[in-house]
Amino acid sequence: MENTKKISATSELRQDLVTGEWVIVATGRGKRPDDFVAEDRVIDATAPDPFADPDASGQEEDVLIYRDQNGAWTTRVFPNKYPALTMTDTVEIIEEGPYVGVGGYGAHELVVTRDPHDHLARLDVPAVAEVIDAYQDRYLTHMRSRAIRYVSIFHNHGPKAGASLSHPHSQILALPVVPVVIQAELDATTRFFRKNKMSPFQVMLDHELSVRSRLVAENDDFVVFCPFASRTAMEMRIMPKQPQPYFERITDAKKVALAEVLQAALKALDRGLNNPDFNFFIHTAPCDGWDYPHYAWYIEIMPRLNKIAGFELATSLEIITVAPEDAAVFLRAQL
């Protein structure tokens, strides 16, 4: 890495001096202070859809594209037109007094499915498996960069979840740092294993499969359940029945199995809560060259049903008004 005082004009990652948390300051995305004047966030259904015909709308050139037997595209991946991070020749270290940061090195891509209305809950299993295949393909590409330490894969659905366009799409950000939430999970996993000689993920999985009161769906390879300590009402977690650290090592057969349970989980939300806003994201071990044998990758699905208020922000303690056991009963009934 090259040490420099230069501040990136496009974006940079800054680290909190007390908590160690990282934030991305992406001034290149074009927001001004008056853009944040309070208003009801809605998606304008009459606005032009840039993803309906990415070539015509001037999107960046595809880095990955899937086509059906007739040659029509079904899923495509291209760089975000307004990226939070971009690839540069060097990774800049930013220093200002006691503060440190990193120039906005990385990648920011979009994974777009063709139909502007059918989100993942309403696609068939092979189409969802194709999206998962795209996730893996791009993950494997980005992890080859020596400076990339973590690849974040997430999906925003609805304005409350941060989606500014209604056309279904996921995002991939390749980062030169490991997010604090992932590092905290890695550290906690190590502490648990040293004390109990077992992975906490395996212990959790064994218990959920035993009591079954929070299970929503399962197949031979994966289980969907509402976590005992859910952070939001109706939260779900998808875990492999044979935990392993690295999402990118998923096999083709397991991709189809994962698509089955992911579609089922999202369908339960769609049917039961009338297409609510939600986020889902993949937690996986970093691609930083270290070994994390006791960690396990999983997908977290978080409906955006309540507003985050002062108590939650002040304490990081969430208040949920639906017990995970009741949520699981409700969600199972939708399937």
| CATH fold for the domain made of 182-333 | HIT family, subunit A (3.30.428)
- Please give the pLDDT value at position 1: 38
pLDDT of residue 41 exceeding 60? no
Q: How is the chain split into domains, by residue range?
A: 2-29+46-180, 182-333
Mean pLDDT of the chain: 91
Could you check whether 2-29+46-180 and 182-333 share the same CATH topology?
Answer: yes
Please state, for a pLDDT cut of 70, what percent of the chain lies above it: 91
Pick the CATH number of 2-29+46-180 from 3.40.50.2000, 3.30.428.10, 3.40.50.300, 3.40.50.720: 3.30.428.10
- Please give the pLDDT value at position 33: 46
Please state, for a pLDDT cut of 90, what percent of the chain lies above it: 77
- Please give the pLDDT value at position 8: 44
Q: Which of 3-12, 38-47, 101-110, 191-200 has the lowest mean pLDDT?
A: 3-12
pLDDT of residue 152 exceeding 50? yes
Sheet arrangement for strand 22-25: 2-3, 92-96, 99-103, 12-15, 22-25
- Please give the pLDDT value at position 100: 92
Q: Taking Cα atoms as reference points, which of 45, 46, 52, 47 lies closest to residue 113? A: 52
- Please give the pLDDT value at position 74: 98
Dihedral, 226, 307, 82, 50 alpha carbons, nearest 10? 80
- Quote the CA–CA distance of 128 and 328 in Å, as a whole number: 23
Residue 178 confidence class, pLDDT cut points 50, 70, 90 = very high
Which DSSP symbol is given to 8?
A: P
- Classified as helix, coil or strand, 206 is helix
Task: Give pTM, 2 decimals.
Answer: 0.91
- Please give the pLDDT value at position 181: 95
pLDDT of residue 78 exceeding 70? yes
The β-bridge partners of 217 are 224
- Please give the pLDDT value at position 3: 40
Structure tokens at 105: 């090195």
Query: In the chain, where does DSSP find H-type helix?
Result: 125-142, 180-196, 200-211, 252-273, 310-315, 324-333
Burial (Cβ within 10 Å: 0-12, 13-18, ≥19) of residue 243: middle
Angle between helix 125-142 and helix 252-273 axes, rounded to 10 deg: 120
pLDDT of residue 203 exceeding 50? yes
pLDDT of residue 278 exceeding 60? yes
pLDDT of residue 38 exceeding 70? no
Residue 21 confidence class, pLDDT cut points 50, 70, 90 = confident
User: Residue 83: CB partners within 8 Å, gap ≥ 6?
Assistant: 10, 11, 26, 28, 29, 107, 108
pLDDT of residue 177 exceeding 90? yes
**End-to-end C-alpha distance for the chain, whole angstroms:** 51
